[in-house]
Chain A
Amino acid sequence: MGKVVAVTGNEAVANALRQVNPDVCAAYPITPATDIMQRFTSFVSNGMVDTEMILVESEHSAMSACVGASAAGGRVITATSSQGLALMWEILFIASGSRMPIIMPVVNRALSAPLNIHGDHSDTMGARDSGWIQLYSENAQDAYDNTIQAFRIAEHLDIRLPVMVCLDGFIISHSIERIEYMEDEPVKKFVGEYKQVYPLLDVEHPVSYGPLILPDLYMEYKRAQHEVMTKASKVVLDVASDFEKISGRRYGLFESYRLDDADIALVILNSAAGTAKDVVDEFREKGIKAGLLKPRLFRPFPYGEVADALKSAKAVCVMDRADSFGGFGPLYMEIASAFMMNGNKPALINKIYGLGGRDFLPEHAETVLNELNDIVKGGKVKTHKEYIGVRE
């Protein structure tokens, strides 16, 4: 039923957006996300979608316009990377705090300084606490599938929150891969008609958006937001289950790869997980029980489920493509928290890799898995946090 194509990650995302046919799209160019909007505007110019474009003068205005358009009462998209996401930062919180189901593919890219246009996760990890649901994508297929599912998740009446779909800059956004597209009709049917909730354009029933809320009630609003987020995991799974019916592709909150009896495990996001899985296979062939966990849903983070999936591992390395300077990598902190929840205490180490687009090579995964294997065999943890693949 699908169609196999050879496309880049950006092209796949743009095609998903075309199939969904949103009402309004705000766009501002930034490498490496620009290509998504170039492709999308050509759909607009050629009448392939009904979308009205707002070609804004900054990402700050892009997100501001998205909030206005979403409040007005329709389906809204934008896309960005890196500095663009950083510039939106203020309004990200307003989008989520106002419960706007905006969809935003983010092509992961390093943050300045020094200026760098290549892939790492500093940008979306910096937006971790913004109240957006975050889905991560290993490859172009994930990015395409996540983009389509994001609309159903965001617009679910129990949720109404914005969603970021994250994919690695250049490695996925600009590399051509074999993926399977769905036909337009099943995608449209899957996503369904947009349901308005208190639209600003309903002049007969005027509503006020964006009130001032002082200490008497602010915290109740924030708790409500927290509670909505806790419902998101279930919706993500329900949507994934519906998606599997039309696509044949299964998605969860994360991918467990050969984890059931694993002694050593890697936790790694996005494209590098593909490389690492090959190395896990090599270790398995050598008789070493290696496994891998690749988070898909990072916000809300499925702590209990992740800890459960990693329960057999005696030594775990969390691989971060971003750093919290003076702290551990952001993914490490989540995994450490997850283990605290079920009382499981494997040896846990953190490697920072691939910043600013530095290649993540199979030998990096191999070195890390060997280190974990040594730890399991009675060796000690030498360093809890370490940069790898870096010149000394």
Chain B
Amino acid sequence: MATTLTLKELSKKEDLLTHGHRMCSGCGAPIVVKQLLLASDYPIVAANATGCLEVSTCISQYTAWKIPWIHNAFENAAATLSGVETMYRALKKQGKLDKEIKFVAFGGDGGTYDIGFQSLSGAAERGHDMLYVCYDNGAYMNTGIQRSSATPIGADTTTCPAGSVIKGKTQPRKNLTRIMAAHGIPYVAQASPSHWKDAITKFKKALDIKGPKFIDVISPCNRGWRSRTDDAILLSRLAVETCYWPLYEVEQGFTKITVVPKEKKPIEEFLKPQGRFKHMFAPGNEWLLKLAQEEVDREWERLRKEAGSE
């Protein structure tokens, strides 16, 4: 019997990522993981790329995972899980296993957009029945906030520090969700922990679709974003409302915007509460804010056109 999507019903389900894990207070990633685990009506076997989530949930003789979980290396969560999923098919075919099991990989943006991209692309093309969830906090947070290809334009990181000559990251972020959609896989989506119902609906949908699925979830990091500890939900909501992080899905090639903000807020509202963008508000740097806004506008318009809602 599928769980109905009310907070009351969801609160009755067991937490499969236990309390006592060592993620920072206010981190977005465990919220994303818990939302996914709540969404599932099936047993899940998870793979985890090296990163914050991995190092903080399975240290030494302790594990926070109440589901089967495997960490292999940084760049190979998708390849690793493709091996697990293939063994599952092999044993099922031989009649050695009959359970319905779902396979989910978790990776941060470094392990997904950058070093793990080849492995992800390969697994997507091979058609494994698995869901890859990227918790995207826009930098290599585990190693101390270095720039990744998911880092937004202008952001101050420890490897693209905002200086007197170079003002943070000079390139716009890679649009991995689009790239994954271009693989022609059955389901691709963007989600945000602020819109839990939208997120859980997408997770549920993805788990029920056969084949490779990819969901990119914005995951605020108060250390890297230099924001208040308890602002993960506020900031991820602002990311949606400014259209910096549009909530949409691409199902069998057709794009649908799942949450249209009532009013598209200016990008400053998302940037302002974050210390990583502080320099963009300094006098003389208005051009940076303009650049960031133009980037959001261009992408939002393109997406609306793609979704046929212009």
Q: Could you tell me which A residues sit within 8 Å of B by CB distance? A: 23-24, 26, 50-52, 54-58, 60-61, 64-74, 76, 90-91, 94, 200-203, 206-214, 216-217
Q: Which residues of A sit under 8 angstroms from B167, Cβ to Cβ? A: none
Smallest CB gap from A205: residue in B = B68
Partner of A66 from the list B58, B59, B83, B119 (CB cut-off 8 Å) is: B83
Q: Is B86 an interface residue (CB 8 A)?
A: yes
Within the complex, the shortest CB–CB distance from B128 to chain A, in Å, comes to 8
Q: Which residues of B sit under 8 angstroms from A203, Cβ to Cβ? A: 43, 45, 67-68, 99, 101
Q: Is B80 an interface residue (CB 8 A)?
A: yes
Q: Which residues of B sit under 8 angstroms from A65, Cβ to Cβ? A: 79-80, 82-83, 86
- New A-B contacts (12) at CB < 8 Å, excluding given A52-B93, A65-B80: A23-B87, A52-B90, A56-B82, A60-B119, A69-B86, A74-B91, A200-B68, A201-B97, A203-B43, A203-B68, A206-B65, A211-B59
Q: Are A72 and B121 in contact (CB under 8 A)?
A: no
Q: Is B23 an interface residue (CB 8 A)?
A: no
Q: Are B70 and A209 in contact (CB under 8 A)?
A: yes
| Count of A-B contacts judged by CB separation below 8 Å | 165
B56-80 CB mask vs A (1 if < 8 Å, else 0) is: 0011110101111111110110011
Q: Is B15 an interface residue (CB 8 A)?
A: no
Q: Are A50 and B93 in contact (CB under 8 A)?
A: yes
Partner of A61 from the list B66, B79, B93 (CB cut-off 8 Å) is: B79
Nearest 6 A/B pairs, CB to CB = A68-B83, A57-B122, A210-B71, A65-B83, A72-B87, A64-B76
Smallest CB gap from B87: residue in A = A72
* Cα-based distance from A202 to B72 in the complex (angstroms): 18
Q: Which bracket fits the contact residues of B?
A: 35 or more
Q: Which residues of B sit under 8 angstroms from A50, Cβ to Cβ? A: 90, 93-94
Q: Which residues of A sit under 8 angstroms from B60, Cβ to Cβ? A: 211-214, 216-217
> Which residue of B43, B47, B80 has the most chain A CB atoms within 10 A of its CB atom?
B80
> Which residue of A67, A200, A207 has the most chain B CB atoms within 10 A of its CB atom?
A200
Q: Are B119 and A64 in contact (CB under 8 A)?
A: yes
Q: Are A202 and B68 in contact (CB under 8 A)?
A: yes
Within the complex, the shortest CB–CB distance from B51 to chain A, in Å, comes to 11
Would you list which residues of chain B between 7 and 31 have a CB under 8 Å from chain A? none
Q: Are B86 and A64 in contact (CB under 8 A)?
A: no
Q: Which residues of B sit under 8 angstroms from A206, Cβ to Cβ? A: 65-69
* Cα-based distance from A69 to B123 in the complex (angstroms): 14
Smallest CB gap from A72: residue in B = B87
* Cα-based distance from A51 to B82 in the complex (angstroms): 15
Within the complex, the shortest CB–CB distance from A63 to chain B, in Å, comes to 8
Q: Which residues of A sit under 8 angstroms from B89, Cβ to Cβ? A: 52
Q: Are A55 and B72 in contact (CB under 8 A)?
A: no
Q: Which residues of B sit under 8 angstroms from A91, Cβ to Cβ? A: 72-73, 76
* Cα-based distance from A55 to B127 in the complex (angstroms): 11
Q: Is B81 an interface residue (CB 8 A)?
A: yes
Q: Known contacts A60-B79, A72-B88; decide if A211 and B67 are in contact (CB<8 Å).
A: no
* Cα-based distance from A232 to B234 in the complex (angstroms): 57
Partner of A217 from the list B54, B61, B68, B94 (CB cut-off 8 Å) is: B61
Within the complex, the shortest CB–CB distance from B9 to chain A, in Å, comes to 22
* Cα-based distance from A213 to B68 in the complex (angstroms): 18
Q: Is B258 an interface residue (CB 8 A)?
A: no
Q: Is B125 an interface residue (CB 8 A)?
A: yes
Q: Which residues of A sit under 8 angstroms from B73, Cβ to Cβ? A: 64, 90-91, 94
Q: Is B126 an interface residue (CB 8 A)?
A: yes
Partner of B58 from the list A72, A94, A211 (CB cut-off 8 Å) is: A211
Q: Are A68 and B91 in contact (CB under 8 A)?
A: no
Partner of B121 from the list A26, A57, A90, A208 (CB cut-off 8 Å) is: A57
> Which residue of B54, B61, B67, B86 has the most chain A CB atoms within 10 A of its CB atom?
B86
Contact sample, A vs B, 6 pairs, CB 8 Å cutoff:
A24-B83, A72-B84, A201-B45, A203-B43, A208-B58, A210-B54
* Cα-based distance from A72 to B54 in the complex (angstroms): 19
Within the complex, the shortest CB–CB distance from B165 to chain A, in Å, comes to 36
Partner of A67 from the list B48, B67, B80, B99 (CB cut-off 8 Å) is: B80
Partner of B86 from the list A54, A67, A210, A213 (CB cut-off 8 Å) is: A54
Q: Which residues of B sit under 8 angstroms from A72, Cβ to Cβ? A: 45, 83-84, 87-88, 91
Q: Is B118 an interface residue (CB 8 A)?
A: yes
Q: Known contacts A54-B82, A201-B87; decide if A208 and B63 are in contact (CB<8 Å).
A: yes
Within the complex, the shortest CB–CB distance from A27 to chain B, in Å, comes to 12
Q: Are A74 and B87 in contact (CB under 8 A)?
A: yes
